[in-house]
A and B are shown apart, each in its own frame.
Chain A
Amino acid sequence: AAFGLYFPRKEYSENVYIDQLAGMPLLRIHALRDSHGEAAHFHLCQNLIISRARSHENHWFQIREKTGLLYLSKSLDREDFNMLSVGNWMPLSKVMLYVFLSSHPFQEKECDSATRTTVFLSLINATAPVCSSLTARQLCFTEMDLSFHIKENKPPGTFHQLQLPSVHHLCQNLSISYKLLAAEGMPFRYNENTTGVSVTQRLDREERERYELIAKCTVREGFREMQVEVPFLVNVLDEDDSPPFLPNGTDTADAVVEFNRKEGTVLATLTVYDADTTPIYPLESSRKKYTGTIITDDPWISETFRVEHIFDEIHFSPNGSQVRGTQHEYKLVLNKSISVTEHRSFQLDVLVNDTEFHGPERSVMLHFNVSILPVSIQFPNMTYQFTVNRNAERFAQIGKICIENCMKFRGVNITYKLLSHNVSCYPVSILQGREDKWGSLYVNDSSVLRRPECKEIQYTIQATDKQSRKHTKTLLTIVLEGTLLKKEEDCPDSCAVSKHHAECEECGGLGVLTGRCQWRQGSGKGITTNYSTCTPSIKTCPDGTCDVIESKDPAVCPQDCTSGNIIGGHGKGTGNVGIKSGHGICYCFPRQNCYCEKDDIKEQLCDDVCKTVI
């Protein structure tokens, strides 16, 4: 009842010539029924739409209410033609009119029925061509493709007439006959007397959604015979006539919450199939038609979980031909981060409902076995011990502190804190990584390292979960080793300033572990991530990420952290920070520019003079 009568195509087109006589038939429009007993009534909107938003009252075209034959009711003379061409830019003038459809006679000439089709009439600035000048193609078919759509599950009926009414009217001395090829076994029939094509039975899109036939036309004029073949296509339109079903009967999935407790985490996915198609636009309305609801009275469950629905087109192959269907995926998602102390198990049911399907099996129930496991905040059974060279400089990275499984955690925020025993020796600090998974130990006060009374320093490390305030402790021992080196004069703050191997390893700089910068020798091939550079520690700089310690001071590792100009061949790092790749040697003046260039100063070759032994 929602559909009613409908047109089997969206657009029709035909040519109109100057001075064609009133009564000239132009084209035949058909309608298909939604239920038996409906009778179609056709009606024209009394406005011609001329391209570019002009409209004009229609004086020339009329349609037979019962048969759908559009004809010329008044001859279109040159003056009419000029009037209708104003505002048309293209050499070809077109007017457009709407044909409306109703199951009862039209009471008044209303212009706003939902069921309508569009007719394009091309106004040709010439008198109608004589029949003998027309090609077989022109005599047999219009320019438009023969392409139709028929709704599934609807009664049979005639939906097209192959014969062109205008040609039939004008060229009566020609014999034009049609045939429908490749129609054996297909639910279509051609009637030779009327040249009408009808669908003979209810169609099922889930069986087959496209029929490709061939319309063949034969023109005979005396002894001459011409033939034309064009494709004749029928698409079957879908309606919601299939219930949802489960692939392999799977309606249950396990959903375990352990280390990953972050809001937005997808815990499990269950799939529902439907043989009907689902348009992905407008997306929201399609989502509303196929709902997934968590069935629960527990406010904690409805606050903590949500169901996300995505769908995608898939193909089924019933009896060989491919038809489109839909795969719906229902994902159980954490709606908020879950505390590490939470511990429970339950079954969560999701009701999936195909709201437009009118049958008893319109819904399926999905079950998620949810287990929320608590996680413990504890250090691995050991104490930490790190050795630090007495020559290490400020921001030297000593090591990482991590509670058990810390790298697996998501949505758990751990803070690491150092509690010192002997207050006088306090050289190191801890900084939190961005994702709050581990803590990085670094030298905060290098002068303490140099003091002879500080040898072995004890700390207690405390790790605390922000949400539950649960915490744990362990011992950390820092052993100072090595003998103090004499500091070179004229050395810059930053290792990155050195552009030669020798000067790099002579100096120290912020972040060095043993008092000396390290040289990284690159491959030297073009612009590469493996460029040559001077760094406090090859392990951490450059490694492509500007970590928390490096970002404390721009002199530590500008190779990873610079946001200034880079002069020379280079590629920038993510977010325009750092040098991802460079040409030759890259060196930087912190807070200023970086340079990447080939080192062209080579040792002078031994010339003839030096070879000469006196």
Chain B
Amino acid sequence: LAGPPSPPGQDPHGWRVPVDCVRANELCAAEPSCSSRYRTLRQCLAGRDRNTMLANKECQAALEVLQESPLYDCRCKRGMKKELQCLQIYWSIHLGLTEGEEFYEASPYEPVTSRLSDIFRLASIFSGMDPATNSKSNHCLDAAKACNLNDNCKRLRSGYISTCSKEISAIEHCSRRKCHKALRQFFDRVPSEYTYRLLFCSCKDQACAERRRQTIVPSCSYEDKEKPNCLDLRNMCRTDHLCRSRLADFHTNCQASSQSLTSCPGDNYQACLGSYAGLIAGFDMTPNYVDASTTSITISPWCSCKGSGNMEEECEKFLQDFTENPCLRNAIQAFGNGTDVNLSP
């Protein structure tokens, strides 16, 4: 079971928890030296890469001052008020400093400290049964029923389903943009004990797995006429603050690691599943189950590595973080089985 919740202001490793970037921005604005340096740095970063920036004395000085300000370590919370503004402030500093061409970027979001077990506890309260013992039923159907019994979940679920299946014209199958927005609202505003059950239910037959695959209305939110190249898709995602942040968060929390038992960073399944769900709203980077197979779980965004030229290796590496990621797969299976890692405090 999960350890006791950490005391406020500290994360499990004893480091101080940074303030969010909106607050940090306010703190900086109240202080004349900070605000002027921040302005200078933003001008330095505009349209220049890290190295040219560091060559400039004034920029260098601004950077050194700002390293001591709360702006430097600030983070954002998923689904917080003014999330977009927060991410904008975050990337205004980090864009020029973390090198755009980095394969993995650090997440601008606060680390997730809760555990899957917390969800299971809540889940058994509302369903009145232990999900682990209830092996014969269709878990995905149960999840849909549970969602329908909750007003908020039901409202936002039927909201995105009707938006995503509304046919616009013979050519335009649906409004993808509106569908993504409605999905984002669903995953941001509905508690994860509902959303995860829908998204990560375990299946023993094809009908169940098909229901699981259909959860996000893939014909609108996922599939497209053509499959773009994955690196092209990544570049497009990185031009958008929100998509970039969610992708960085996925890479931070689901990156397969050989140093942990579960292959997940810090053995934290909850964090990986949360970042995965966060990506679904992430515009064209939305991942999904590629088929209704019950034996193997394969996840992928809607892209391929065709046409990668000399970057094929990098493209495959990017794609494999979805298709062949032991951390993600273990996390989904652990959720489906109702098991979490036992952590010694």
Question: Which residue numbers of A lie inside 8 Å of B, CB to CB?
Answer: 10, 45, 47, 51-55, 87, 89-92, 111-112, 143, 147, 149, 235, 237-238, 277-283, 311-313, 324, 572-576
Contacts and interface: CB of A to CB of B under 8 A. Distances in A.
B93 A53 contact: yes
Contacts of A576: 166-168
Contact of B106 (A52, A149, A278): A52
Contacts of B63: 55
Contact of B312 (A51, A91, A235): A235
A279 B306 CA distance: 9
Contacts of A53: 72, 93-94, 97-98
A21 B228 CA distance: 50
B266 A91 contact: yes
Q: Which 3 A-B pairs have the closest CB atoms?
A: A279-B309, A280-B307, A281-B232
Given A53-B97, A143-B258, A281 B229 contact: yes
B133 to A, nearest CB: 35
A55 B54 CA distance: 10
B54 A52 contact: no
Contact of B13 (A91, A572, A574): A91
Residue of A281, A282, A572 most packed against chain B (CB within 10 A): A281
B59 to A, nearest CB: 12
Contacts of A111: 51, 54-55
A53 B306 CA distance: 33
B317 to A, nearest CB: 9
A575 B235 CA distance: 33
Interface string B154-172: 0000000000001111100
B169 A574 contact: yes
Contacts of A51: 106
B259 to A, nearest CB: 7
Contacts of B13: 89, 91
A281 B168 CA distance: 30
A577 to B, nearest CB: 10
26 contacts: A47-B54, A52-B72, A52-B73, A53-B94, A53-B97, A54-B67, A54-B72, A87-B72, A89-B106, A91-B13, A147-B313, A238-B309, A277-B307, A277-B308, A278-B309, A279-B229, A279-B308, A279-B309, A280-B228, A280-B308, A280-B309, A281-B229, A281-B235, A281-B307, A283-B232, A574-B167
Contacts of B11: 89
Interface string B262-279: 000110000000000000
Interface string B39-65: 000000000000110110000000100
Contacts of B285: none
Most chain A Cβ neighbours within 10 Å, of B15, B52, B94: B15
Interface in B8-48: 11, 13, 15
B311 A279 contact: yes
A139 to B, nearest CB: 16
Nearest to A151: B310
Pick from B13, B97, B307, B313 the residue with the most CB of A within 10 Å.
B307
Given A52-B73, A574-B169, A279 B106 contact: no
B131 interface: no
